[in-house]
């Protein structure tokens, strides 16, 4: 399983004339080695990788599927690497790729000093594209996460009542998934983005725009946590957006359902139906070969015909410009169903597709499922019942 990952990354490296990939980020290191200890995963363009570990070496030894090399300090790293990969460094000019999308400038500068003469290049896309295609064991964990979140969703719906705060409902859902092994947060790659377990947002609060790179914002708890659930009480006749996920053994799931106590106003109920229709039309094209940006363009067209363009994926200047996103070890993986993402779908891609409509002052309605692309089409990973959830 790990060798397959290395081989895929190595092929991409050789295509770009890169001599080796140095993973510095915890999630990438885990993906490449099976361990998340502090250090560096080094993957040469040819040959076996190694995990150079600062801390904890003892723990890395029990976890890693690669050789583990204790790393005394960054100063000795270059000589230890040359000792282990003599041919690579003897060749003269060496090009190393690393994750410019997450690596902080300070850490990068220290690497530059530790490796004089090395040419550094951005390897973010190489690793993200490698990670985009999931293996069978990865799919199995995402299915497990889907089962955990479905149970929590039903528990949440059972507990949901008028006058309950968003935060109380969110906390009940979180308590359910945490006890079943949820990490406690969902890892995100994007700078400054953070996500606990999604959000429960009711009525006007759900429609408040936020910094968060998603279609529904939420009031949040304060200006220091300005997204997701807040302390607003859930009322009758307003949409309750339940956009939740969890992280089981590193892998996340993402799903959204819409509930209401009583009945939704007709236009919101109709917008919810439209969200399901967008999802159905997208599913029809969910198979190998379909181009990601085409799915987004088709959804835009469908929404325009329904007269809902202004409300799609946020409102006005706070709209986000995508229909879905890859999930895996992080919630913001490749591919993105958005303009200029020209990846063709292929087996092993896992995406969350989330058509939503925002009505300022009134709420957000929508649905989100996660899917794995298969040889002939797709497998739906999220299990929760669809349709507007109506409570008495």
Burial class (CB in 10 A: 0-12, 13-18, 19+), 250: middle
How many angstroms separate the Cα of 281 from the Cα of each of 44, 296, 299, 302?
43, 11, 8, 9
Q: Which is nearer to a second copy, 191 or 376 (CB)?
A: 191
Pairing verdict, β 240-248 and 198-202: antiparallel
50 within 8 A of 19, measured Cβ to Cβ: no
Q: Does the footprint of a second copy cover residue 343 (CB under 8 A)?
A: no
69 within 8 A of 85, measured Cβ to Cβ: no
Helix axis angle for 105-114 and 74-84, nearest 10°, is 50
Q: Which stretch binds a second copy (CB under 8 A): 149-157, 164-172, 288-296, 331-339?
A: 164-172
* Residues that contact a second copy, how many (by CB under 8 A): 65
Pairing verdict, β 363-366 and 369-373: unpaired
Residue 348 per-residue DSSP state: T
Q: Which is nearer to a second copy, 56 or 95 (CB)?
A: 56
Of these, 78, 114, 164, 171, which contacts a second copy (CB under 8 A)? 171
Q: Which is nearer to a second copy, 46 or 107 (CB)?
A: 107
Q: Report in angstroms how near the CB of residue 249 gets to a second copy at its nearest.
A: 4
Q: Which is nearer to a second copy, 147 or 221 (CB)?
A: 221
Q: Report in angstroms how near the CB of residue 324 gets to a second copy at its nearest.
A: 19
Of these, 161, 211, 263, 307, which contacts a second copy (CB under 8 A)? 211
Q: Which stretch binds a second copy (CB under 8 A): 8-16, 25-33, 73-81, 350-358?
A: 25-33
Q: Does the footprint of a second copy cover residue 41 (CB under 8 A)?
A: no
Q: Does the footprint of a second copy cover residue 181 (CB under 8 A)?
A: yes
Q: Which is nearer to a second copy, 183 or 204 (CB)?
A: 183
Give me the DSSP letters along 304-323: HHTT-GGGBTSSGGG--S-S
Q: Does the footprint of a second copy cover residue 107 (CB under 8 A)?
A: yes
184 within 8 A of 246, measured Cβ to Cβ: no
Q: Does the footprint of a second copy cover residue 104 (CB under 8 A)?
A: yes
Q: Is 259 helix (H, G, I), strand (E, B) or coil?
A: strand
78 within 8 A of 72, measured Cβ to Cβ: no
Q: Report in angstroms how near the CB of residue 309 gets to a second copy at its nearest.
A: 19
Of these, 90, 92, 289, 317, which contacts a second copy (CB under 8 A)? 317
Q: Which is nearer to a second copy, 7 or 107 (CB)?
A: 107
Sheet with 389-391, side-by-side order of all strands: 198-202, 240-248, 251-261, 389-391
Q: Report in angstroms how near the CB of residue 207 gets to a second copy at its nearest.
A: 11
Q: Which is nearer to a second copy, 222 or 376 (CB)?
A: 222
Q: How far apart are CA 319 and CA 209, in angstroms?
A: 9
Phi, psi (deg, nearest 5) at residue 209: -75, 155
Neighbours of 161 (CB within 10 A): 12
Question: Which tokens go with 135?
Answer: 């293996």
Q: Does the footprint of a second copy cover residue 209 (CB under 8 A)?
A: yes
Q: Does the footprint of a second copy cover residue 210 (CB under 8 A)?
A: yes
Q: Which of 273, 214, 275 is nearest to 245 (CA)?
A: 214
Q: Which is nearer to a second copy, 44 or 217 (CB)?
A: 217
Chain positions contacting a second copy, by CB under 8 A = 24-26, 30, 34-38, 55-59, 63, 100-109, 122, 124, 167-168, 170-171, 174-175, 178-179, 181, 183-185, 187, 191-192, 194, 196-197, 208-211, 213, 217, 221-226, 231, 247, 249-251, 317-318, 329
């Amino acid at each position: 399983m790990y060798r397959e990952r290395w081989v895929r990354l190595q092929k991409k490296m050789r295509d770009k004339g890169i001599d080796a990939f140095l993973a510095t980020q915890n999630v990438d290191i885990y993906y490449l080695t099976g361990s998340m200890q502090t250090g560096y995963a080094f993957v040469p363009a040819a040959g076996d990788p190694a995990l150079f570990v600062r801390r904890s070496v003892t723990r890395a030894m029990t976890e890693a599927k690669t050789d583990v090399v204790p790393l005394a300090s960054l100063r000795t790293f270059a000589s230890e690497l040359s000792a282990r990969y003599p041919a690579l460094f003897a060749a003269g000019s060496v090009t190393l790729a690393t994750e410019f999308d997450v690596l902080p400038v300070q850490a990068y500068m220290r690497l530059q000093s530790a490796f004089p003469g090395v040419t550094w290049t951005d390897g973010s896309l190489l690793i993200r594209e490698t990670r985009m295609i999931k293996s069978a064991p990865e799919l199995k964990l995402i299915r497990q996460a889907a089962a955990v979140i479905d149970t929590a969703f039903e528990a949440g719906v059972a507990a949901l009542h008028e006058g309950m705060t968003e935060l109380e409902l969110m906390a009940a859902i979180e308590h359910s998934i945490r006890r079943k092994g949820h990490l406690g947060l969902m890892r995100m790659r994007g700078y400054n983005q953070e996500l606990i377990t999604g959000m429960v947002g009711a009525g006007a609060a759900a429609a408040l725009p936020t910094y968060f790179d998603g279609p529904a914002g939420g009031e949040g708890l304060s200006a220091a946590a300005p997204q997701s659930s807040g302390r607003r009480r859930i009322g009758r006749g307003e949409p309750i957006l339940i956009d939740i996920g969890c992280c089981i053994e590193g892998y996340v799931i993402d799903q959204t359902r819409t509930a209401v106590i009583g009945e939704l106003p007709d236009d919101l109920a109709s917008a919810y139906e439209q969200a399901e229709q967008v999802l159905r039309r997208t599913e029809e094209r969910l198979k190998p070969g379909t181009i990601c940006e085409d799915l987004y363009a088709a959804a835009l067209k469908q929404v325009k015909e329904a007269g809902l363009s202004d409300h799609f994926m946020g409102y006005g200047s706070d709209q986000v410009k995508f229909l879905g996103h890859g999930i895996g070890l992080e919630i913001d993986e490749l591919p993105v169903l958005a303009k200029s993402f020209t990846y063709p779908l292929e087996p092993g891609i896992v995406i969350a597709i989330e058509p939503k409509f925002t009505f300022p002052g009134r709420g957000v309605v929508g649905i989100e499922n996660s899917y794995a692309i298969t040889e002939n089409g797709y497998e739906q990973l999220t299990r929760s019942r669809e349709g507007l959830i109506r409570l008495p």
